Structure 1
Protein backbone atom coordinates (compact mmCIF):
# COMPACT_ATOMS: atom_id res chain seq x y z
CA UNK A 1 0.00 0.00 0.00
CA UNK A 2 1.11 3.54 -0.69
CA UNK A 3 1.36 5.82 2.33
CA UNK A 4 0.70 9.56 2.15
CA UNK A 5 3.71 11.86 2.46
CA UNK A 6 2.50 13.13 5.85
CA UNK A 7 1.95 9.68 7.39
CA UNK A 8 3.32 9.52 10.95
CA UNK A 9 4.59 5.96 11.58
CA UNK A 10 5.78 6.76 15.11
CA UNK A 11 2.18 7.39 16.23
CA UNK A 12 1.04 4.02 14.91
CA UNK A 13 3.98 2.11 16.38
CA UNK A 14 3.63 3.81 19.76
CA UNK A 15 -0.07 2.96 20.01
CA UNK A 16 0.55 -0.73 19.41
CA UNK A 17 3.64 -0.75 21.60
CA UNK A 18 1.85 0.32 24.79
CA UNK A 19 2.45 -3.03 26.50
CA UNK A 20 6.19 -3.21 27.15
CA UNK A 21 5.93 -7.00 27.56
CA UNK A 22 4.73 -7.31 23.93
CA UNK A 23 2.42 -10.23 24.64
CA UNK A 24 0.04 -9.75 21.71
CA UNK A 25 1.79 -6.99 19.77
CA UNK A 26 5.49 -6.89 18.91
CA UNK A 27 7.06 -3.68 17.69
CA UNK A 28 10.52 -4.02 16.19
CA UNK A 29 11.90 -1.01 14.42
CA UNK A 30 9.28 -0.07 11.82
CA UNK A 31 7.52 -3.45 11.97
CA UNK A 32 4.53 -4.46 14.04
CA UNK A 33 3.26 -8.00 14.52
CA UNK A 34 -0.20 -8.28 16.03
CA UNK A 35 -1.95 -11.45 17.20
CA UNK A 36 -5.62 -11.62 16.23
CA UNK A 37 -8.31 -14.23 15.64
CA UNK A 38 -9.18 -14.41 11.95
CA UNK A 39 -12.59 -16.04 11.50
CA UNK A 40 -11.90 -17.90 14.73
CA UNK A 41 -8.37 -19.02 13.83
CA UNK A 42 -5.17 -17.69 15.49
CA UNK A 43 -3.36 -15.35 13.12
CA UNK A 44 -0.40 -12.99 13.00
CA UNK A 45 -0.79 -9.73 11.13
CA UNK A 46 2.53 -8.16 10.15
CA UNK A 47 2.83 -4.59 8.95
CA UNK A 48 6.15 -3.29 7.66
CA UNK A 49 6.37 0.48 7.28
CA UNK A 50 8.85 2.36 5.12
CA UNK A 51 8.78 5.89 3.66
CA UNK A 52 5.76 6.09 1.41
CA UNK A 53 4.94 2.39 1.65
CA UNK A 54 3.36 -0.23 3.91
CA UNK A 55 3.38 -3.99 3.37
CA UNK A 56 0.85 -6.24 5.09
CA UNK A 57 0.99 -9.99 5.60
CA UNK A 58 -1.49 -12.21 7.42
CA UNK A 59 -0.40 -15.69 8.52
CA UNK A 60 -3.35 -17.80 9.67
CA UNK A 61 -3.32 -21.12 11.49
CA UNK A 62 -6.18 -22.24 9.29
CA UNK A 63 -7.58 -21.51 5.81
CA UNK A 64 -5.53 -19.01 3.82
CA UNK A 65 -6.96 -15.48 4.04
CA UNK A 66 -8.47 -13.71 1.07
CA UNK A 67 -6.08 -10.87 0.11
CA UNK A 68 -9.14 -8.77 -0.69
CA UNK A 69 -9.98 -8.83 3.04
CA UNK A 70 -6.44 -8.17 4.28
CA UNK A 71 -5.93 -4.84 2.51
CA UNK A 72 -9.03 -3.16 4.02
CA UNK A 73 -7.98 -4.40 7.47
CA UNK A 74 -4.51 -2.89 7.05
CA UNK A 75 -5.88 0.40 5.73
CA UNK A 76 -8.28 0.56 8.65
CA UNK A 77 -5.54 -0.09 11.22
CA UNK A 78 -3.33 2.58 9.67
CA UNK A 79 -6.14 5.15 9.49
CA UNK A 80 -5.47 5.83 5.82
CA UNK A 81 -9.03 6.86 5.01
CA UNK A 82 -9.43 9.39 7.82
CA UNK A 83 -10.32 13.00 6.88
CA UNK A 84 -7.13 14.65 8.10
CA UNK A 85 -6.81 16.88 5.02
CA UNK A 86 -10.38 18.15 5.38
CA UNK A 87 -9.82 19.12 9.03
CA UNK A 88 -6.59 20.94 8.19
CA UNK A 89 -8.16 22.81 5.27
CA UNK A 90 -11.14 23.91 7.33
CA UNK A 91 -9.32 25.06 10.47
CA UNK A 92 -5.70 25.87 9.65
CA UNK A 93 -6.39 29.54 10.55
CA UNK A 94 -8.11 28.82 13.87
CA UNK A 95 -6.28 30.74 16.65
CA UNK A 96 -5.79 27.71 18.92
CA UNK A 97 -6.16 24.69 16.67
CA UNK A 98 -4.29 26.16 13.71
CA UNK A 99 -0.86 26.09 15.40
CA UNK A 100 -1.59 22.53 16.63
CA UNK A 101 -2.42 21.43 13.09
CA UNK A 102 0.86 22.94 11.92
CA UNK A 103 2.80 21.08 14.64
CA UNK A 104 1.07 17.74 14.02
CA UNK A 105 0.46 17.53 10.26
CA UNK A 106 -1.10 14.31 9.05
CA UNK A 107 -2.04 13.01 12.47
CA UNK A 108 -4.29 9.96 12.21
CA UNK A 109 -5.95 7.81 14.84
CA UNK A 110 -4.54 4.24 14.95
CA UNK A 111 -7.36 1.74 14.98
CA UNK A 112 -8.08 -1.49 16.82
CA UNK A 113 -8.24 -4.59 14.61
CA UNK A 114 -11.99 -4.96 15.19
CA UNK A 115 -14.80 -2.89 16.70
CA UNK A 116 -15.11 -5.52 19.44
CA UNK A 117 -11.46 -5.06 20.39
CA UNK A 118 -12.05 -1.31 20.61
CA UNK A 119 -15.21 -1.66 22.69
CA UNK A 120 -13.74 -4.23 25.07
CA UNK A 121 -10.61 -2.08 25.47
CA UNK A 122 -12.79 0.97 26.21
CA UNK A 123 -14.63 -0.99 28.91
CA UNK A 124 -11.30 -2.13 30.35
CA UNK A 125 -10.01 1.45 30.49
CA UNK A 126 -13.00 3.08 32.14
CA UNK A 127 -11.90 5.45 34.92
CA UNK A 128 -8.44 3.93 35.44
CA UNK A 129 -4.96 4.89 34.31
CA UNK A 130 -3.53 3.74 31.00
CA UNK A 131 -0.91 1.65 32.80
CA UNK A 132 -3.57 -0.16 34.83
CA UNK A 133 -5.70 -0.75 31.72
CA UNK A 134 -2.74 -2.18 29.80
CA UNK A 135 -1.99 -4.54 32.69
CA UNK A 136 -5.59 -5.81 32.87
CA UNK A 137 -5.72 -6.20 29.08
CA UNK A 138 -2.55 -8.29 29.22
CA UNK A 139 -3.98 -10.51 31.94
CA UNK A 140 -7.16 -10.97 29.90
CA UNK A 141 -5.11 -12.09 26.90
CA UNK A 142 -3.11 -14.46 29.09
CA UNK A 143 -6.31 -15.84 30.62
CA UNK A 144 -7.80 -16.78 27.25
CA UNK A 145 -4.45 -18.35 26.28
CA UNK A 146 -4.82 -18.23 22.50
CA UNK A 147 -1.58 -18.30 20.51
CA UNK A 148 -0.53 -18.23 16.90
CA UNK A 149 2.02 -20.84 15.86
CA UNK A 150 4.67 -18.10 15.95
CA UNK A 151 4.15 -17.87 19.72
CA UNK A 152 2.38 -14.51 19.56
CA UNK A 153 -0.70 -14.29 21.79
CA UNK A 154 -3.98 -13.36 20.14
CA UNK A 155 -6.47 -10.82 21.41
CA UNK A 156 -9.70 -12.76 22.13
CA UNK A 157 -12.79 -12.28 20.01
CA UNK A 158 -16.35 -11.99 21.29
CA UNK A 159 -17.06 -15.71 21.03
CA UNK A 160 -14.03 -16.51 23.17
CA UNK A 161 -14.88 -14.00 25.90
CA UNK A 162 -18.54 -15.04 25.88
CA UNK A 163 -17.45 -18.44 27.20
CA UNK A 164 -15.83 -16.94 30.30
CA UNK A 165 -17.55 -16.12 33.59
CA UNK A 166 -17.39 -13.22 36.03
CA UNK A 167 -15.04 -14.90 38.56
CA UNK A 168 -12.50 -15.51 35.78
CA UNK A 169 -12.65 -11.88 34.70
CA UNK A 170 -12.37 -10.72 38.32
CA UNK A 171 -9.18 -12.76 38.60
CA UNK A 172 -7.86 -10.92 35.53
CA UNK A 173 -8.40 -7.60 37.33
CA UNK A 174 -11.87 -6.48 36.27
CA UNK A 175 -14.31 -5.03 38.77
CA UNK A 176 -17.64 -6.81 39.15
CA UNK A 177 -19.39 -4.09 37.13
CA UNK A 178 -16.86 -4.16 34.29
CA UNK A 179 -16.85 -7.97 34.21
CA UNK A 180 -20.64 -8.05 33.87
CA UNK A 181 -20.56 -5.38 31.14
CA UNK A 182 -17.80 -7.11 29.18
CA UNK A 183 -19.58 -10.45 29.30
CA UNK A 184 -22.87 -8.92 28.20
CA UNK A 185 -21.20 -7.14 25.28
CA UNK A 186 -19.30 -10.29 24.27
CA UNK A 187 -22.41 -12.46 24.37
CA UNK A 188 -24.50 -9.97 22.42
CA UNK A 189 -21.75 -9.63 19.81
CA UNK A 190 -21.24 -13.38 19.53
CA UNK A 191 -24.93 -14.15 18.97
CA UNK A 192 -25.51 -11.25 16.57
CA UNK A 193 -27.61 -8.98 18.78
CA UNK A 194 -24.77 -6.44 18.66
CA UNK A 195 -23.63 -6.50 15.00
CA UNK A 196 -20.38 -4.59 15.41
CA UNK A 197 -18.64 -5.91 12.29
CA UNK A 198 -21.77 -5.34 10.20
CA UNK A 199 -21.89 -1.74 11.40
CA UNK A 200 -18.27 -1.27 10.35
CA UNK A 201 -18.64 -2.80 6.89
CA UNK A 202 -21.90 -0.99 6.10
CA UNK A 203 -20.69 2.32 7.51
CA UNK A 204 -23.67 2.55 9.85
CA UNK A 205 -24.19 6.16 11.03
CA UNK A 206 -22.54 6.97 14.34
CA UNK A 207 -25.83 8.15 15.82
CA UNK A 208 -27.40 4.74 15.28
CA UNK A 209 -24.42 2.94 16.85
CA UNK A 210 -24.42 5.40 19.75
CA UNK A 211 -28.14 4.90 20.43
CA UNK A 212 -27.80 1.10 20.51
CA UNK A 213 -24.71 1.00 22.74
CA UNK A 214 -26.21 3.56 25.13
CA UNK A 215 -28.93 1.07 26.06
CA UNK A 216 -26.41 -1.33 27.59
CA UNK A 217 -25.66 -1.23 31.32
CA UNK A 218 -22.13 -0.01 32.04
CA UNK A 219 -21.70 1.75 28.68
CA UNK A 220 -21.55 5.55 28.98
CA UNK A 221 -20.79 8.42 26.59
CA UNK A 222 -16.99 8.20 26.92
CA UNK A 223 -16.96 4.45 26.21
CA UNK A 224 -19.18 4.93 23.17
CA UNK A 225 -17.19 7.85 21.75
CA UNK A 226 -13.89 6.04 22.28
CA UNK A 227 -15.28 2.92 20.57
CA UNK A 228 -16.56 4.97 17.64
CA UNK A 229 -13.13 6.55 17.31
CA UNK A 230 -10.88 3.47 17.70
CA UNK A 231 -13.18 0.80 16.29
CA UNK A 232 -15.14 2.52 13.54
CA UNK A 233 -12.87 5.47 12.63
CA UNK A 234 -15.82 7.77 13.31
CA UNK A 235 -14.25 11.18 13.84
CA UNK A 236 -17.11 13.13 15.45
CA UNK A 237 -17.39 11.72 18.96
CA UNK A 238 -16.92 14.54 21.46
CA UNK A 239 -14.73 12.88 24.17
CA UNK A 240 -15.28 16.00 26.28
CA UNK A 241 -15.32 13.91 29.46
CA UNK A 242 -11.82 12.53 28.85
CA UNK A 243 -9.47 13.75 31.59
CA UNK A 244 -6.43 13.90 29.29
CA UNK A 245 -8.37 15.89 26.67
CA UNK A 246 -9.39 18.43 29.30
CA UNK A 247 -5.85 18.77 30.67
CA UNK A 248 -4.34 19.22 27.21
CA UNK A 249 -7.03 21.77 26.36
CA UNK A 250 -6.12 23.63 29.55
CA UNK A 251 -2.52 23.89 28.32
CA UNK A 252 -3.60 24.90 24.82
CA UNK A 253 -5.82 27.69 26.12
CA UNK A 254 -3.37 28.76 28.81
CA UNK A 255 -5.86 28.38 31.65
CA UNK A 256 -4.97 27.83 35.30
CA UNK A 257 -7.36 24.91 35.73
CA UNK A 258 -8.77 22.29 33.37
CA UNK A 259 -12.04 23.28 31.67
CA UNK A 260 -15.13 21.45 32.85
CA UNK A 261 -16.58 18.70 30.66
CA UNK A 262 -19.34 21.11 29.60
CA UNK A 263 -16.79 23.80 28.66
CA UNK A 264 -14.70 21.21 26.79
CA UNK A 265 -17.80 20.03 24.94
CA UNK A 266 -18.59 23.60 23.89
CA UNK A 267 -15.02 24.19 22.63
CA UNK A 268 -14.95 20.94 20.65
CA UNK A 269 -18.38 21.60 19.12
CA UNK A 270 -16.95 24.15 16.69
CA UNK A 271 -14.94 21.40 14.99
CA UNK A 272 -17.83 19.06 14.08
CA UNK A 273 -17.76 16.68 12.22
CA UNK A 274 -14.13 16.11 13.32
CA UNK A 275 -14.39 16.60 17.10
CA UNK A 276 -12.81 13.25 17.98
CA UNK A 277 -9.91 13.86 15.61
CA UNK A 278 -9.32 17.18 17.36
CA UNK A 279 -9.43 15.36 20.71
CA UNK A 280 -6.80 12.95 19.38
CA UNK A 281 -4.64 15.93 18.43
CA UNK A 282 -4.95 17.19 22.01
CA UNK A 283 -3.80 13.76 23.25
CA UNK A 284 -0.82 13.88 20.90
CA UNK A 285 0.11 17.40 21.91
Structure 2
Protein backbone atom coordinates (compact mmCIF):
# COMPACT_ATOMS: atom_id res chain seq x y z
CA UNK A 1 0.00 0.00 0.00
CA UNK A 2 1.44 3.37 -1.03
CA UNK A 3 1.73 5.80 1.89
CA UNK A 4 -0.57 8.81 1.64
CA UNK A 5 1.35 12.00 0.78
CA UNK A 6 1.39 14.61 3.50
CA UNK A 7 1.78 18.35 3.58
CA UNK A 8 3.60 19.65 6.65
CA UNK A 9 4.42 22.88 8.40
CA UNK A 10 6.54 23.37 11.51
CA UNK A 11 6.99 26.52 13.54
CA UNK A 12 8.29 27.49 17.00
CA UNK A 13 5.99 29.44 19.29
CA UNK A 14 7.46 31.35 22.23
CA UNK A 15 5.96 30.67 25.65
CA UNK A 16 5.69 33.19 28.49
CA UNK A 17 7.70 32.65 31.64
CA UNK A 18 6.02 30.19 33.98
CA UNK A 19 3.73 28.75 31.32
CA UNK A 20 1.76 25.87 32.89
CA UNK A 21 2.33 23.02 30.43
CA UNK A 22 0.40 20.56 32.58
CA UNK A 23 -2.82 22.56 32.19
CA UNK A 24 -2.62 22.34 28.41
CA UNK A 25 -1.80 18.63 28.46
CA UNK A 26 -4.53 17.74 30.97
CA UNK A 27 -7.21 19.32 28.82
CA UNK A 28 -6.36 16.93 25.99
CA UNK A 29 -6.00 13.94 28.33
CA UNK A 30 -9.76 13.63 28.88
CA UNK A 31 -10.17 10.38 26.93
CA UNK A 32 -7.91 7.67 28.30
CA UNK A 33 -8.45 5.60 25.15
CA UNK A 34 -6.57 8.25 23.14
CA UNK A 35 -8.42 7.72 19.89
CA UNK A 36 -8.09 11.36 18.82
CA UNK A 37 -5.43 12.77 21.17
CA UNK A 38 -2.20 11.24 22.48
CA UNK A 39 -0.58 12.96 25.44
CA UNK A 40 3.00 12.39 26.60
CA UNK A 41 5.09 13.99 29.34
CA UNK A 42 6.05 17.05 27.31
CA UNK A 43 3.78 17.05 24.31
CA UNK A 44 0.68 15.89 22.54
CA UNK A 45 -0.70 14.87 19.18
CA UNK A 46 -4.23 15.76 18.15
CA UNK A 47 -6.26 14.59 15.18
CA UNK A 48 -8.24 17.33 13.47
CA UNK A 49 -9.46 18.43 10.07
CA UNK A 50 -7.50 21.13 8.27
CA UNK A 51 -9.46 22.59 5.38
CA UNK A 52 -11.44 19.36 5.30
CA UNK A 53 -8.39 17.07 5.20
CA UNK A 54 -7.33 14.69 8.03
CA UNK A 55 -4.43 16.24 9.92
CA UNK A 56 -2.32 15.70 13.02
CA UNK A 57 -1.20 18.61 15.17
CA UNK A 58 1.87 17.88 17.28
CA UNK A 59 2.91 20.16 20.13
CA UNK A 60 6.28 19.53 21.78
CA UNK A 61 7.01 21.71 24.82
CA UNK A 62 10.39 22.89 26.09
CA UNK A 63 11.31 25.50 28.69
CA UNK A 64 10.73 28.60 26.57
CA UNK A 65 8.78 27.48 23.53
CA UNK A 66 6.52 24.93 21.96
CA UNK A 67 7.35 23.37 18.62
CA UNK A 68 4.14 23.10 16.61
CA UNK A 69 3.95 20.75 13.63
CA UNK A 70 0.95 20.13 11.41
CA UNK A 71 0.89 17.13 9.07
CA UNK A 72 -2.02 17.16 6.64
CA UNK A 73 -2.94 14.17 4.50
CA UNK A 74 -2.62 15.78 1.10
CA UNK A 75 -4.77 15.47 -1.98
CA UNK A 76 -3.38 15.77 -5.49
CA UNK A 77 -3.24 19.55 -5.19
CA UNK A 78 -1.13 19.48 -2.00
CA UNK A 79 -2.08 23.01 -0.96
CA UNK A 80 0.43 24.94 1.11
CA UNK A 81 -0.43 25.25 4.80
CA UNK A 82 -1.24 28.77 5.96
CA UNK A 83 1.30 29.22 8.75
CA UNK A 84 -0.41 32.36 10.03
CA UNK A 85 -3.61 30.39 10.54
CA UNK A 86 -1.64 27.60 12.22
CA UNK A 87 0.06 30.07 14.56
CA UNK A 88 -3.27 31.70 15.45
CA UNK A 89 -4.79 28.29 16.23
CA UNK A 90 -1.91 27.25 18.47
CA UNK A 91 -1.88 30.55 20.34
CA UNK A 92 -5.63 30.31 20.93
CA UNK A 93 -5.41 26.66 22.02
CA UNK A 94 -2.73 27.51 24.58
CA UNK A 95 -4.36 30.74 25.77
CA UNK A 96 -1.25 32.76 25.00
CA UNK A 97 -3.17 35.96 24.34
CA UNK A 98 -5.21 35.78 27.54
CA UNK A 99 -4.55 38.71 29.88
CA UNK A 100 -3.76 36.63 32.95
CA UNK A 101 -1.18 39.15 34.20
CA UNK A 102 -3.72 41.98 34.14
CA UNK A 103 -6.21 39.80 35.98
CA UNK A 104 -3.67 38.87 38.68
CA UNK A 105 -2.63 42.49 39.18
CA UNK A 106 -6.20 43.73 39.36
CA UNK A 107 -7.27 41.25 42.06
CA UNK A 108 -4.01 40.75 43.94
CA UNK A 109 -5.62 42.07 47.12
CA UNK A 110 -9.07 40.55 46.73
CA UNK A 111 -10.11 39.18 50.15
CA UNK A 112 -11.41 35.86 48.81
CA UNK A 113 -9.66 35.22 45.50
CA UNK A 114 -6.11 36.54 46.00
CA UNK A 115 -4.78 33.40 47.69
CA UNK A 116 -6.17 31.23 44.90
CA UNK A 117 -4.54 33.45 42.26
CA UNK A 118 -1.18 33.15 44.00
CA UNK A 119 -1.51 29.39 44.36
CA UNK A 120 -2.42 29.05 40.69
CA UNK A 121 -0.18 31.77 39.25
CA UNK A 122 -0.25 31.96 35.48
CA UNK A 123 -3.33 29.80 35.01
CA UNK A 124 -4.65 30.03 31.46
CA UNK A 125 -7.65 28.36 29.89
CA UNK A 126 -6.72 25.85 27.18
CA UNK A 127 -9.00 25.93 24.16
CA UNK A 128 -10.12 23.53 21.47
CA UNK A 129 -8.66 23.61 17.97
CA UNK A 130 -11.79 25.27 16.58
CA UNK A 131 -14.82 27.07 18.00
CA UNK A 132 -17.06 24.40 16.48
CA UNK A 133 -15.28 21.67 18.45
CA UNK A 134 -15.91 23.62 21.66
CA UNK A 135 -19.59 23.98 20.86
CA UNK A 136 -19.89 20.28 20.01
CA UNK A 137 -18.26 19.43 23.36
CA UNK A 138 -20.47 21.88 25.24
CA UNK A 139 -23.64 20.42 23.74
CA UNK A 140 -22.39 16.91 24.41
CA UNK A 141 -21.64 17.69 28.05
CA UNK A 142 -24.94 19.35 28.96
CA UNK A 143 -26.30 18.06 32.29
CA UNK A 144 -24.22 14.85 32.36
CA UNK A 145 -21.02 13.84 34.13
CA UNK A 146 -17.64 14.38 32.49
CA UNK A 147 -16.96 10.61 32.02
CA UNK A 148 -20.29 10.16 30.24
CA UNK A 149 -19.61 13.22 28.07
CA UNK A 150 -16.16 11.87 27.16
CA UNK A 151 -17.76 8.58 26.12
CA UNK A 152 -20.31 10.40 23.93
CA UNK A 153 -17.57 12.50 22.35
CA UNK A 154 -15.60 9.35 21.56
CA UNK A 155 -18.61 7.73 19.90
CA UNK A 156 -19.22 10.87 17.83
CA UNK A 157 -15.63 10.85 16.59
CA UNK A 158 -15.82 7.13 15.85
CA UNK A 159 -19.11 7.55 13.98
CA UNK A 160 -17.46 10.00 11.58
CA UNK A 161 -14.38 7.73 11.27
CA UNK A 162 -11.97 10.31 9.83
CA UNK A 163 -8.53 8.78 10.31
CA UNK A 164 -5.18 10.46 9.76
CA UNK A 165 -2.20 8.45 8.56
CA UNK A 166 -0.74 8.75 12.08
CA UNK A 167 -3.55 6.44 13.21
CA UNK A 168 -5.39 9.14 15.13
CA UNK A 169 -9.04 9.78 14.44
CA UNK A 170 -9.86 13.40 13.68
CA UNK A 171 -12.50 15.45 15.42
CA UNK A 172 -15.19 16.07 12.77
CA UNK A 173 -15.92 19.54 11.48
CA UNK A 174 -19.36 20.99 10.85
CA UNK A 175 -19.63 19.54 7.34
CA UNK A 176 -18.98 16.01 8.56
CA UNK A 177 -21.52 16.19 11.38
CA UNK A 178 -24.10 17.94 9.22
CA UNK A 179 -24.02 14.92 6.91
CA UNK A 180 -24.78 12.46 9.72
CA UNK A 181 -28.28 10.98 9.93
CA UNK A 182 -30.10 11.75 13.17
CA UNK A 183 -30.27 7.99 13.77
CA UNK A 184 -26.48 7.78 13.87
CA UNK A 185 -26.27 10.29 16.71
CA UNK A 186 -29.11 8.61 18.56
CA UNK A 187 -27.34 5.23 18.22
CA UNK A 188 -24.19 6.82 19.63
CA UNK A 189 -26.11 7.74 22.78
CA UNK A 190 -27.12 11.34 22.13
CA UNK A 191 -30.54 12.35 23.37
CA UNK A 192 -33.02 13.57 20.77
CA UNK A 193 -32.58 17.16 21.97
CA UNK A 194 -28.77 17.07 21.90
CA UNK A 195 -28.71 15.36 18.52
CA UNK A 196 -31.08 17.97 17.11
CA UNK A 197 -29.05 20.85 18.55
CA UNK A 198 -25.78 19.47 17.22
CA UNK A 199 -27.18 18.87 13.75
CA UNK A 200 -28.80 22.31 13.58
CA UNK A 201 -25.56 23.95 14.68
CA UNK A 202 -23.47 21.93 12.23
CA UNK A 203 -25.77 22.68 9.30
CA UNK A 204 -25.80 26.41 10.02
CA UNK A 205 -22.01 26.50 10.30
CA UNK A 206 -21.58 24.42 7.15
CA UNK A 207 -23.96 26.70 5.25
CA UNK A 208 -21.99 29.78 6.29
CA UNK A 209 -24.77 31.19 8.45
CA UNK A 210 -22.56 30.88 11.54
CA UNK A 211 -19.00 31.75 10.41
CA UNK A 212 -17.40 30.73 13.70
CA UNK A 213 -13.81 30.65 12.44
CA UNK A 214 -14.11 34.13 10.94
CA UNK A 215 -15.61 35.48 14.15
CA UNK A 216 -12.76 33.97 16.18
CA UNK A 217 -10.21 36.04 14.26
CA UNK A 218 -11.57 39.33 15.58
CA UNK A 219 -13.45 39.09 18.84
CA UNK A 220 -14.80 42.01 20.83
CA UNK A 221 -17.80 42.61 23.07
CA UNK A 222 -20.05 43.52 20.13
CA UNK A 223 -19.08 40.38 18.21
CA UNK A 224 -19.61 38.26 21.33
CA UNK A 225 -23.15 39.57 21.71
CA UNK A 226 -23.84 38.68 18.08
CA UNK A 227 -22.51 35.15 18.64
CA UNK A 228 -24.54 34.83 21.81
CA UNK A 229 -27.74 35.98 20.12
CA UNK A 230 -27.31 33.68 17.14
CA UNK A 231 -26.47 30.60 19.20
CA UNK A 232 -29.31 31.13 21.69
CA UNK A 233 -31.72 30.93 18.77
CA UNK A 234 -30.81 27.26 18.33
CA UNK A 235 -33.13 24.98 20.29
CA UNK A 236 -31.26 23.23 23.08
CA UNK A 237 -28.48 25.80 23.40
CA UNK A 238 -28.69 27.92 26.53
CA UNK A 239 -26.51 30.47 28.34
CA UNK A 240 -24.17 27.91 29.92
CA UNK A 241 -23.45 26.25 26.57
CA UNK A 242 -22.78 29.60 24.93
CA UNK A 243 -20.52 30.94 27.69
CA UNK A 244 -18.59 27.69 27.96
CA UNK A 245 -18.07 27.57 24.19
CA UNK A 246 -16.99 31.22 24.11
CA UNK A 247 -14.33 30.34 26.68
CA UNK A 248 -13.11 27.02 25.26
CA UNK A 249 -13.55 27.83 21.59
CA UNK A 250 -12.78 31.55 21.34
CA UNK A 251 -10.73 32.24 24.48
CA UNK A 252 -13.30 34.83 25.65
CA UNK A 253 -12.72 35.35 29.38
CA UNK A 254 -15.84 37.28 30.37
CA UNK A 255 -18.65 34.75 30.04
CA UNK A 256 -20.44 34.21 33.34
CA UNK A 257 -20.46 30.49 34.16
CA UNK A 258 -22.69 30.81 37.21
CA UNK A 259 -24.83 27.97 35.85
CA UNK A 260 -21.94 25.52 36.08
CA UNK A 261 -22.30 23.05 38.96
CA UNK A 262 -18.54 22.72 39.47
CA UNK A 263 -18.12 26.51 39.55
CA UNK A 264 -20.76 26.80 42.26
CA UNK A 265 -19.17 23.93 44.18
CA UNK A 266 -15.77 25.63 43.94
CA UNK A 267 -17.25 28.92 45.09
CA UNK A 268 -18.87 27.21 48.05
CA UNK A 269 -15.48 25.80 49.02
CA UNK A 270 -13.77 29.17 48.51
CA UNK A 271 -16.32 31.02 50.64
CA UNK A 272 -16.38 28.28 53.25
CA UNK A 273 -20.16 28.06 53.40
CA UNK A 274 -22.14 24.98 54.38
CA UNK A 275 -25.10 25.83 52.16
CA UNK A 276 -24.94 25.16 48.43
CA UNK A 277 -24.45 28.20 46.23
CA UNK A 278 -27.38 28.91 43.89
CA UNK A 279 -27.09 30.40 40.42
CA UNK A 280 -28.13 33.92 41.41
CA UNK A 281 -25.58 34.06 44.22
CA UNK A 282 -22.85 32.79 41.90
CA UNK A 283 -23.82 35.24 39.15
CA UNK A 284 -23.80 38.19 41.54
CA UNK A 285 -20.43 37.18 43.02
CA UNK A 286 -18.80 36.67 39.62
CA UNK A 287 -20.05 40.05 38.34
CA UNK A 288 -17.32 41.91 40.23
CA UNK A 289 -14.63 40.20 38.12
CA UNK A 290 -15.72 41.38 34.66
CA UNK A 291 -14.03 41.17 32.13
CA UNK A 292 -12.46 38.02 33.60
CA UNK A 293 -15.51 36.16 34.93
CA UNK A 294 -14.79 32.98 32.97
CA UNK A 295 -11.15 33.04 34.07
CA UNK A 296 -12.36 33.11 37.68
CA UNK A 297 -14.49 30.06 36.86
CA UNK A 298 -11.37 28.33 35.54
CA UNK A 299 -9.57 29.09 38.82
CA UNK A 300 -12.47 27.54 40.71
CA UNK A 301 -12.34 24.46 38.45
CA UNK A 302 -8.60 24.16 39.01
CA UNK A 303 -9.10 24.38 42.77
CA UNK A 304 -11.30 21.32 42.46
CA UNK A 305 -8.77 19.65 40.13
CA UNK A 306 -11.48 19.54 37.45
CA UNK A 307 -8.98 19.04 34.64
CA UNK A 308 -11.59 17.49 32.34
CA UNK A 309 -13.71 20.65 32.06
TM-score greater than 0.5 by the shorter chain: yes
Aligned to 1:106: 122
Query: In structure 2, which of residues 51, 54, 58 is the aligned counterpart of residue 39 of structure 1?
Result: 51
Aligned counterparts of 2:96 and 2:158: Cα–Cα separation in 1:
31
Normalised to the residue count of structure 2, the TM-score between the two structures is 0.91
Query: In structure 1, which of residues 247, 250, 272 is the aligned counterpart of residue 268 of structure 2?
Result: 250
Query: Runs of 4+ in structure 1 displaced over 4 angstroms?
Result: none
Aligned to 1:9: 21
Unaligned runs of 5+ in 2: 1-12, 304-309
Alpha-carbon offset, residue 55 of structure 1: 0.6
Q: CA RMSD in A?
A: 0.8
Aligned counterparts of 2:231 and 2:157: Cα–Cα separation in 1:
24
Aligned to 2:73: 61
Preserved CA contact (<8 Å) 1:33 1:45: yes
Aligned counterparts of 2:145 and 2:102: Cα–Cα separation in 1:
32
Query: In structure 2, which of residues 191, 213, 228 is the aligned counterpart of residue 210 of structure 1?
Result: 228
Preserved CA contact (<8 Å) 1:116 1:231: yes
User: Alpha-carbon deviations, 1:239-276, whole Å to 9, x = none?
Assistant: 00100000010000000022110000000000000000
Normalised to the residue count of structure 1, the TM-score between the two structures is 0.98
Aligned to 2:4: none
User: Alpha-carbon deviations, 1:90-146, whole Å to 9, x = none?
Assistant: 001001110010000000000000000000110000000000000000011011000
Alpha-carbon offset, residue 209 of structure 1: 1.1
Preserved CA contact (<8 Å) 1:27 1:33: yes
Aligned to 1:70: 86
Unaligned runs of 5+ in 1: none
Alpha-carbon offset, residue 19 of structure 1: 0.3
Preserved CA contact (<8 Å) 1:249 1:258: no
Aligned to 1:270: 288
Count, aligned residues: 285
